[in-house]
Amino acid sequence: MDKVRIGFIGAGVHANAVHYPSLAQMDDVEIVAVCDINEERLKKTAEKYGIPGRYKDYRKMLREEKLDAVYVIMPPHLLHDIVVDVLKNGLNIFIEKPPGITRFQTESWAKLAEEKEVKTMVGFNRRFIPLVRVVRDKVLEYGPITQCVSIFYKNMVGVDSYYNGAIDILTCDAIHAVDMLRWMCGEPVKVVSVAKSFYSNRPNSFYALVEFESSIGVLLVNWSSGSRIHVFELHSKGVYAYINPDDKAVIYASDKAYEISTFEAANSRDRIKYYGFYFENRHFIDCIKNDLEPETNFRDATKTMKLVEDIYRSSI
């Protein structure tokens, strides 16, 4: 296909911050329709990106527009019926994390997508950060990864959930750190964890030691800390890498030590690019065009949701 025809369900803040501008930069993508129940957001987004199809009813959009894929960008507790309708229409689909509110829900979508033979993708953008990709490849040159640390801290004292209690912190937002641990280490074998409540009515801090098939992973999440810190560590034979996607990575090897800036790795100072949003969207479009399964498809996302469950279940 010359151009991938996209329909959007959702014209909110996040969609406008990263997904519309990412796709608008791609010559082989055409955003042909947008749906939002908020008329002001709908009009503003459609006019900004020159989108001809404008709808308040997504079902009407699915019926009337000729689409190759649909982006459904909205809170997780509102996803289910819309995702199912898109899948039943046989359309490729991109959603943001988390992929629903339970593993059961994510797995249900994965099964339906496989029946309909469509491409699916979840926006785990950290996997597509150029700096992270470059550093992981360099570490793997020394041998298999033996140890990983995934850290996510925020200053959100008193916050115990998202969307008025619809979904918990670990599943909704800190799932980024959980997914990165899986991506760096492989599939988990055993989990030992602690879930704590600091200045909160519900767990807002999570600590896990995860045994993978050939490595050890450590998860550190604290929503009552001093600032937003989201960093990663990778170890292999004689090499250690510290990665801060907002700044740089430092690699210490037995024969040398050097730095790589996040802007250098992405060849850009645009956060949409250096923080992976553009490249996750590019990956989805390329998979549609080349009939490939996206890396963060619904089946893969089900495994991350299961690890979230295991962290809760194994808490001591």
177-211 in b/e form (b: 16+ CB < 10 A) is bbbbbbbbbbebeebebebeeeebeebbbbbbebe
Superfamily of segment(s) 127-270+298-313: Dihydrodipicolinate Reductase; domain 2 (3.30.360.10)
Mean pLDDT of the chain: 97
Cis peptide leading into 98, omega within 30 of 0?
yes
pLDDT for residue 248:
98
- In 3-state terms, what secondary structure has residue 230? strand
Sheet of strand 53-55: strand arrangement = 53-55, 29-35, 4-9, 69-72, 92-96, 120-123
**Residue 104 clears pLDDT 90, i.e. is over it:** yes
Percentage with pLDDT > 90 across the chain? 98
pTM: 0.97
CB 218 within 8 A of CB 210: yes
CB 219 within 8 A of CB 150: yes
**Residue 255 clears pLDDT 90, i.e. is over it:** no
pLDDT for residue 1:
74
pLDDT for residue 249:
98
pLDDT band at 206 (very low <50, low <70, confident <90, very high): very high
Q: Which CATH architecture has domain 4-124?
A: 3-Layer(aba) Sandwich (3.40)
pLDDT for residue 316:
80
Give the largest CA-CA distance in the chain.
61
Q: What is the mean pLDDT of residues 246-274?
A: 96
CB 245 within 8 A of CB 133: no
pLDDT for residue 254:
81
What residues does CATH 3.30.360.10 cover in the chain? Answer: 127-270+298-313
From CA 68, how far away is CA 53, in angstroms rounded? 15
What residues does CATH 3.40.50.720 cover in the chain? Answer: 4-124
